[in-house]
Amino acid sequence: MNSTQRLRAALFVAVCALGSVPAMAHPGHGDPVHSDGVMHFVTSPTHWVPIAIVLGLAALVAVQRFSRSKPSGKLSDK
């Protein structure tokens, strides 16, 4: 396993470990008093912050992959 693979594995473990903390129950789930529907997910940082992070990382990866596959426009000498 090279250093890049080790770094990716460590990052994966860290994300899994830290990602389980927000999964714990908080007010707004199962209690009719706090049943705000969609507004609960919009107003609760426990829901929208992880979604924003995942969407941001997905956009970053997509941009990087697109820029790598884009031809450079340089002519090669043959």
Stated pTM of the model: 0.47
Quick: pLDDT tens for 46-59: 778 888 888 898 99
Q: How many domains does the chain have?
A: 1
Residues 67, 72: Cα–Cα separation, whole Å: 9
In a domain, 11, yes or no: yes
13 vs 32: which has the higher pLDDT: 13
Q: What residues contact 69, with CB distance under 8 A and at least 6 apart? A: none
Residues 27, 34: Cα–Cα separation, whole Å: 7
In a domain, 75, yes or no: no
In a domain, 74, yes or no: no
| Model pLDDT, residue 19 | 67
In a domain, 24, yes or no: yes
In a domain, 32, yes or no: yes
In a domain, 30, yes or no: yes
Query: What residues make up the domain containing 7?
Result: 3-69
Across all residues in the chain, what is the average pLDDT? 75
